[in-house]
Amino acid sequence: MQNQDTYYYGILPDVHFRFSSAEISYAVTAASNLHDFDDTGTELLARTMLSAFFLADLVKEETKLSVQIRFYDDSEIHSVLAYSTRNGRMKATLRHRPEEDVESGQISEENLGILKVFRWKDGECIYQSIVPFRNLSFEENIENYLRDSEQIPSFLIAYVKLEGLHWKVKGILLQALPEAKQEHIDAVREWAGAVEAKKNQIFDQNVSNALEELKGIWNTKLEILEEGRPEYRCDCSEEKIKELILNLGKEEAMDIAEEQGQIEVTCEFCNSIYRFPKDRVLELF
């Protein structure tokens, strides 16, 4: 599969909206293959990764954003988690619930679980929002989060499709700028609905051509301000694992090392394995 992942940031000046549009097909396929996720899990992962990337456009470049959904106990999927920076450095994982732990009667007609959006800087959480993940489409949940938590009228269209062994994952997020009036918001809502109805046709091509087609459909100016290439890249390191061990404290760390002969940590995002024998654990303290 050739890596054609790309993103574009820009504005629709006639209606005072900004947009983010991206393809992350290669990144999603890489993550799915790495963890051997099934089709249902990969589709959920794809929408979460796409949303994390779009929401990361709201933060400064030196920060990153995470989107996590924790499902109630009668779901076979326990949770899904994706990180992204504004320039598309992404990592993601999905956890299945052991079959014996699946309970009945947890999911209500209204809510399926909890949606968590965090912003991070230098390893510290600097913002968090926790809202219900409702029994609506994934896109509607993200739109509701932006409307209720960020007070930003927004419209998200996601295109997720499996073709053979590879995934096609593309989409666009439209967000009102402060100058947008209600008439502009109403117009873009109508545009978004038209795109949703034709998204299989529009996003079956590359994102650049899709944007050109959208410009014609909407009969409006579309200015691209920035473009780049998303990438699935884990940022784990031995130094971060050392810090994790130090946070355990000497007594607990040495207890684990004595019992197991070492401390072994497997990164949940890239499957890298870090091993610290007892003598190395002791040296950390």
Domain match, 124 and 19 both = yes
Does some domain include residue 62?
yes
CATH number, domain of 274, equals: 3.90.1280.10
Q: What is the pLDDT of residue 100?
A: 65
d(CA 122, CA 85): 13
Count the residues in the chain: 285
Q: What is the pLDDT of residue 124?
A: 87
d(CA 6, CA 207): 8
Structural domain ending residue among the three candidates 189, 216, 232: 232
Q: What is the pLDDT of residue 102?
A: 62
Q: What is the pLDDT of residue 64?
A: 92
Using 70 as the pLDDT threshold, list the residues of the chain that sit under it: 1, 61, 100-108
Domain match, 245 and 216 both = no
Residue 130 is classified by DSSP as E
Q: What is the pLDDT of residue 284?
A: 85
Does some domain include residue 1?
no
Domain match, 171 and 199 both = yes
Does some domain include residue 224?
yes
What is the DSSP annotation of 179-230?
T--HHHHHHHHHHHHHHHHTHHHHTTS-HHHHHHHHHHHHTS--EEEEEE--
Structural domain ending residue among the three candidates 208, 232, 256: 232
Total domains in the chain come to 2
Q: What is the pLDDT of residue 75?
A: 82
Residue type, 219: N
Q: What is the pLDDT of residue 67?
A: 97
Q: What is the pLDDT of residue 28?
A: 96
**Tokens of residue 143, six digits:** 């739109």
Domain match, 62 and 185 both = yes
Dihedral (CA of 119, 121, 125, 127) sign:
negative
Residue-range definition of the domain harbouring residue 271: 238-284
pLDDT mean across residues, the chain: 92
Does some domain include residue 55?
yes
Dihedral (CA of 231, 267, 97, 116) sign:
negative
Domain match, 33 and 150 both = yes
Q: What is the pLDDT of residue 270?
A: 92
